[in-house]
Amino acid sequence: MEWSNQRCLLTGASGGIGQAIAKALAQKGVSLVLVGRNSARLHALKEQLPGEHQVCCADLSNAQERESLVSKLTEQGGVSMLVNNAGISHLSTLEDTSTEVLESVLQTNLMVPMLLTQAFLPQLKQRRTTHIINIGSTFGSIGFAGQTAYCASKFGLRGFTESLLRELADTNIKVSYLAPRATDTQINSDASFAMNKALGNQVDTPEMVAKQFMLLLEQHKTRAFIGFPERLFIKINGAFPSLVDKALIKKLPIIKRFIAPTMKDKIL
Ligand SMILES: NC(=O)c1ccc[n+]([C@@H]2O[C@H](COP(=O)([O-])OP(=O)(O)OC[C@H]3O[C@@H](n4cnc5c(N)ncnc54)[C@H](OP(=O)(O)O)[C@@H]3O)[C@@H](O)[C@H]2O)c1
């Protein structure tokens, strides 16, 4: 990988995992386009990074803002890496999830990566070697109670990534999927953190996720699933889902303690 020749569009750069990935890439000499909605956080990040970078504020679920971002960057010569990392989460039963939240989770976590990828494909094809990396989740392989919208979006993102990497196999575009497990960032509400603790789930640092992200690129991997036993559960869930049904249904009473109806309209 010739890092210093890369220009990378990183969505969700203002978030926990995004900031850690931005720091890891900038240290290698990659020039970044930092995208998010929180201008102050993006500018503060830019100040900390070595090298030349650009801040672009955009609500990616807004078609106009997304399209003007694409036009602006295409006019500037485009990018060689697209990291679809922006995401939102919501912990509640399906019954207690509003239509607005359902649509927003699917739009941000699934449609936005698909639409951005589609918009950048023509110019990605014109460069020598280019990369698309989609940030999924363990919940993109294991359905979890209280996470129906999030799981649907991340299962969709994994399917999209797999399909695209096969579709583009005879091109210069490498497509990869990185699935973090629970990570210490603001996407997780207090209830999510408390639930992870009660369930005994490990929580990674964003820096650990960034390290795995860099390994994925350096080792030319198409997929990486972070953490043990999560990696094992993903395999078992793929081969024998009824075994995982049983294990997770046993935990349902604990999970239900943290899915409060008061969380109904909270979009993180
Ligand atoms: N943390 C975990 O436990 C965990 C586990 C597995 C997978 N992941 C995945 O990792 C990715 C990064 O999440 P994180 O943990 O770093 O969460 P985070 O700290 O909450 O960051 C989320 C990022 O997404 C951006 N974003 C959300 N909606 C957006 C929109 N409509 N337009 C533009 N930007 C938007 C946010 O931007 P602003 O703040 O500027 O609005 C923020 O930069 C997500 O895809 C998430 O699903 C996280």
Atom nearest to 88 CA in ligand 1: 27
User: What single DSSP character describes residue 107?
Assistant: I
Output the CA 84–ligand 1 centroid distance in Å. 10
229-238: pLDDT as tens digits: 999 999 999 9
- pLDDT score recorded for residue 264: 45
CB neighbours of 137 closer than 8 A, spacing ≥ 6? 150, 154, 179, 180, 181
Q: Which residues are catalytic?
A: 150
Q: Which residue has the least CA distance to atom 46 on ligand 1?
A: 87
Probe residue for ligand 1, chosen from 70, 88, 190 as the CB with the greatest number of ligand atoms within 8 Å: 88
In 168-251, which residue ranges form alpha helices assigned H by DSSP?
A: 190-199, 206-218, 230-239, 241-250
Q: Is the pLDDT of residue 95 over 60?
A: yes
Q: Is the pLDDT of residue 204 over 50?
A: yes
- pLDDT score recorded for residue 154: 98
127-149: pLDDT as tens digits: 988 999 999 999 999 999 999 99
Among 13, 45, 77, 87, residue whose Cα is nearest residue 268: 87
Q: Which residue has the least CA distance to atom 20 on ligand 1?
A: 187
pLDDT classification of 174: cutoffs 50, 70, 90? very high
**Residues within a 6 A CB radius of ligand 1:** 11-18, 36-38, 59-61, 85-88, 108, 135, 137, 180, 182-183, 185-188
117-132: pLDDT as tens digits: 999 999 999 998 899 9
5-21: pLDDT as tens digits: 999 999 999 999 999 99
Output the CA 260–ligand 1 centroid distance in Å. 22
Atom nearest to 18 CA in ligand 1: 16
- pLDDT score recorded for residue 1: 77
Residue 221: strand, helix, or coil: coil
- pLDDT score recorded for residue 55: 98
46-89: pLDDT as tens digits: 999 999 999 999 999 999 999 999 999 999 999 999 999 999 99
Q: Is the pLDDT of residue 202 over 80?
A: yes
Atom nearest to 13 CA in ligand 1: 43
18-43: pLDDT as tens digits: 999 999 999 999 999 999 999 999 99
190-199: pLDDT as tens digits: 999 999 999 9
Output the CA 164–ligand 1 centroid distance in Å. 22
Average pLDDT of span 150-165: 98
pLDDT classification of 262: cutoffs 50, 70, 90? low
| Domains delineated in the chain | 3-263 (3.40.50.720)
- pLDDT score recorded for residue 265: 44
